[in-house]
Homo-oligomer: A and B are copies of this chain.
Amino acid sequence: MTQSKRDARPSVQDVALIVGGGPGISSSCARLFAKNGMRVAVAARNPEKAALETLEKMHGVRRFACDASEAAAVEQLFKNVVQDIGRPRLVVHNIDGRVPGIFRKSVIEADPIMALETLRSAAFSAFLVGQQAARLMLGNELDTNGAKGTIIFTNASAALKGFPSSGAFAMACHAKSGLAQSMARELMPQGIHVANVPIDAAIGWTQEDGTRAHRLAGTTVDDNMADPDHIAETYLQLHRQHRSTWAFEVVLRPWVEKW
């Protein structure tokens, strides 16, 4: 297969679904996928956020409301997306899921209810989304890379290392890695590319005016922080890998990050 044939790949227009919607990785993915000719849907608890409205206005991205930790809601989401823009060949699970009550809490202080909520939001939702994605994709045709689809799980440093005062989040991120690994071993031989992408960094996104921003207002953002526009490029490359050479896990970190 030649390089040029591969680049021309999506003879039929690709459909991408991004679960989790914020101004960072989800927005960057939605923009980049749309620019590359895909029909794109983003699902979020609250799809009325300004960031998502901008995506719709500027890039034609479809918005869906979904609590991804509810099985019925996730099942319905996939039905709605298929009906609206078609069967996804690329599904990104991009939910961090950390509940404020566990943030930087020692294991003796962390609220158990919030620890369980974090497990549900971050890991169980990945199971639900991965399950629906797999069910759908197994029915897809092979594309020119020999794939039926790609499922990508965004993950965090806590998937690589259990940091102190981070027990509940370490549980959730490790759980997501374990799920991704199991799904990769199960689904790759059936033609579905599964990838786990721990971002070992703070994330500073690019705003519409070109400047970069961070969750904590006033933070100076430089290339010491992961730029979600570049994360999105890696996701697209993963989606376009030929099945003779699939990567399962890619850890992305800025050049100056300690690890």
Cβ of A186 to closest chain B Cβ, rounded Å: 4
Q: Is A227 an interface residue (CB 8 A)?
A: yes
A244–B259 CB distance below 8 A: no
Cβ of A216 to closest chain B Cβ, rounded Å: 18
Chain A 242-259: CB-based contact to B (< 8 A → 1; otherwise 0):
111111111111111001
Task: Point out the residue from B127, B172, B231, B247 that lies within 8 Å of A168, measured CB to CB.
Answer: B127
Q: Is A84 an interface residue (CB 8 A)?
A: no
- Cα–Cα distance between A170 and B182 once the two chains are bound (Å): 7
Q: Is A66 an interface residue (CB 8 A)?
A: no
A178–B175 CB distance below 8 A: yes
- Number of chain copies forming the complex: 4
A245–B230 CB distance below 8 A: yes
Answer whether A108 and B138 are a contact pair too, CB < 8 Å, given A3-B229, A71-B113, A162-B185.
yes
A189–B146 CB distance below 8 A: no
Answer whether A163 and B185 are a contact pair too, CB < 8 Å, given A254-B244, A255-B246.
yes
Collect the chain B residues with CB atoms within 8 Å of residue A233's CB.
3
Task: Point out the residue from B124, B135, B185 that lies within 8 Å of A108, measured CB to CB.
Answer: B135
Cβ of A234 to closest chain B Cβ, rounded Å: 7
Chain A 191-227: CB-based contact to B (< 8 A → 1; otherwise 0):
1010000010100000000000000000000011111
Task: Point out the residue from B110, B112, B185 that lies within 8 Å of A259, measured CB to CB.
Answer: B185
Cβ of A153 to closest chain B Cβ, rounded Å: 12
Q: Is A87 an interface residue (CB 8 A)?
A: no
Task: Point out the residue from B32, B115, B165, B178 that lies within 8 Å of A171, measured CB to CB.
Answer: B178
- Cα–Cα distance between A252 and B123 once the two chains are bound (Å): 25
Q: Is A59 an interface residue (CB 8 A)?
A: no
Collect the chain B residues with CB atoms within 8 Å of residue A32's CB.
3
Task: Point out the residue from B112, B185, B242 that lies within 8 Å of A230, measured CB to CB.
Answer: B242
Additional A-B contact list (16), CB under 8 Å, known A108-B135, A162-B185, A172-B175 = A106-B186, A108-B138, A119-B175, A147-B255, A162-B183, A164-B185, A168-B179, A171-B176, A185-B259, A188-B256, A201-B245, A226-B245, A227-B245, A245-B253, A246-B252, A248-B253
